[in-house]
Chains A and B, each alone.
Chain A
């Protein structure tokens, strides 16, 4: 199993205590709160969470694509040991695209509607490599072939609106891998797609990642996608990491009550009308008015008094499994 490799593969990107704030009126809201995780060479890490959990802002923060009123306010983002945070925009532009490729949910808004597809891919190449336009155009077609766009030479001359949703996502993937990045960040890349199209895109991402030996950071709300792709999983809730585990442990021996509740809400195909539904009561906190202590405590079935007062630290519990929960860490109500 892949789990064996997780322990030995080198760390490519290490995120520690990352904080990102947004100014809203006179208030500052912490959207990403002391997030730590790492990406290993050739492995897939999934960040899973619901709306507002901070997973997308985490991804954008890694790329330093946070714009005012947002601001990265703390932590380190180490790529091959070097902190990316002090880099200026020019230096970051060389990292984005070349070292770290990106695929976002909505391919149409990520593409320029008035430029031919081949030209857009070629532009990515020209931005990072010293090659001629003709060479770039030729490689663009190669990339389209590689991501499974049929009749690539002809399609390269088409515009984005000529492509279906699934084909557009393939184009974005072609742009993301154009410069052979070591890391691919994919933010809900299949959420807007039909399930049969999703299956193809997930297979493609996985196959490319394997062939390139790249690390994949998959941002998703879909536990099925996590189970299919991830080697390691980071569970976020209200901007914080509540659990981090290898995929098998996460699904079969989850420690955080939120992870367990989330898995209980996920619908397996064996479930039918007779399966009891186990909704999580309540809703995630309003980040403008965070509760004290563990953010999940107000909805948690096992919370003890301490949970409502203190932030539980993220501590290792088992090899390959960290959890931020006093109860899971063995505290009892006293």
Chain B
């Protein structure tokens, strides 16, 4: 029936595949129980594709990023790059595979080494991986400095001499130097002023087109995620509750939490939304110490049903590429279409 949609929305090649990732931490302060930071999370990212991961404080999005990078080891689940297992790989292999995935953090300045020049900071991943001579590394850094919109003489300066936006450019250059296939951005534009944020988003999108990079773009800000992502995954208390194309998640959000999140965002247009129209969800997020597999949102959900207190909802596909973990939608209401 359908003709192939635009090329960019149909990734032909999966560069990153996460399957059933879970991570539990021991609860602090002598409290019994365990904190389930990430529970059974699966997703894929295609070549030149951006998966936006959105959720509020404590939803597990940064833990998920650390699992993807193997900065911490999962309790269960696998991460694969281009079909090859990253989790469980032997140390020499792990080291080599680390080149495949790089990260850009929110606080760019503190992610850079203050005692190294910008050029050396950018080249550092090559040195750590034992790639090239010092001269080759500096040349590679110099090429990236131009690419991210800095000036050649910036290579010899130190990170503290740069503004937040410029530090983020430096961090992006460093993330690119090993020619990764995937970059994880963890709140990478959240601390920037809007005029600077637009510059950095522009750069991020431009680099993606140039190098066909796969992006995992993590943010608490759904409007930024929507602006940059092909697909969006919504996380709540360690679980993906909804995932689909940006368009679908925004136009027809299925999970009550996604709906709550969307309605709470103040729209920058006074004709469309004033304060009284802001959506309000009652209650606060449940504790991640709650070990139940039941829907994590049920305590605040306006549509709570008896089944929500009895059976864990599975993340099921309702239509092409749009999945939700909510009994309102599964089994899919066949008559609705």
A residues engaging B (CB < 8 A)? Answer: 50-51, 164-166, 194-200, 202-203, 206, 221-230, 247-248, 251-252, 261-269, 271-273, 275, 277-281, 283
A199-B279 in contact (CB<8A): yes
Q: Given known contacts A196-B261, A228-B278, A267-B224, is B268 in contact with A273 (CB within 8 Å)?
A: no
Task: Report 30 cross-chain contacts, Cβ distance below 8 Å, ordered by A residue.
Answer: A166-B284, A199-B263, A199-B266, A221-B194, A224-B265, A227-B268, A227-B269, A227-B274, A228-B270, A228-B278, A247-B270, A248-B270, A248-B271, A251-B271, A261-B195, A267-B223, A267-B268, A268-B223, A268-B268, A269-B226, A269-B262, A271-B223, A271-B226, A272-B226, A273-B205, A273-B229, A273-B246, A277-B205, A279-B196, A280-B195
Task: State which size class the interface on B falls in.
Answer: 35 or more
Residue on B with the closest CB to A51?
B193
Residues from chain A with Cβ under 8 Å of B288 in the complex: none
A299 to nearest B CB, angstroms? Answer: 8
B residues engaging A (CB < 8 A)? Answer: 8, 50, 56-57, 163, 165, 193-199, 201-202, 205, 220-224, 226-230, 246-247, 250, 260-276, 278-281, 284
A203-B266 in contact (CB<8A): no
A273-B266 in contact (CB<8A): no
A54 to nearest B CB, angstroms? Answer: 14
B246-A222 in contact (CB<8A): no
Give Cα A251 to B193, complex, Å: 18
Q: Given known contacts A164-B284, A195-B56, A248-B271, is B193 in contact with A50 (CB within 8 Å)?
A: yes
Count of CB-CB pairs between chains A and B under 8 Å: 144
Give Cα A97 to B127, complex, Å: 57
Q: Given known contacts A195-B222, A267-B227, A273-B205, is B273 in contact with A228 (CB within 8 Å)?
A: yes
B13 to nearest A CB, angstroms? Answer: 19
B198-A251 in contact (CB<8A): no
Give Cα A224 to B275, complex, Å: 10
A277-B268 in contact (CB<8A): no
Residue on B with the closest CB to A190?
B266
Residues from chain B with Cβ under 8 Å of A51 in the complex: 193
B227-A202 in contact (CB<8A): no
Which of A206, A266, A269 has most B Cβ within 10 Å? A269
B226 to nearest A CB, angstroms? Answer: 6
Which of A164, A247, A272 has most B Cβ within 10 Å? A272
Give Cα A286 to B163, complex, Å: 11
**8 interchain residue pairs of minimum CB distance:** A224-B266, A279-B198, A50-B193, A199-B264, A194-B56, A279-B199, A280-B195, A223-B268
Give Cα A228 to B279, complex, Å: 12
Give Cα A226 to B247, complex, Å: 26
Partner of B267, one of A50, A197, A224, A283: A224
A202-B278 in contact (CB<8A): yes
Partner of B194, one of A228, A252, A266: A266
B275-A229 in contact (CB<8A): yes
B285 to nearest A CB, angstroms? Answer: 9
Residue on A with the closest CB to B247?
A272
Give Cα A247 to B268, complex, Å: 11
Give Cα A194 to B55, complex, Å: 9
Partner of B268, one of A194, A196, A203, A224: A224
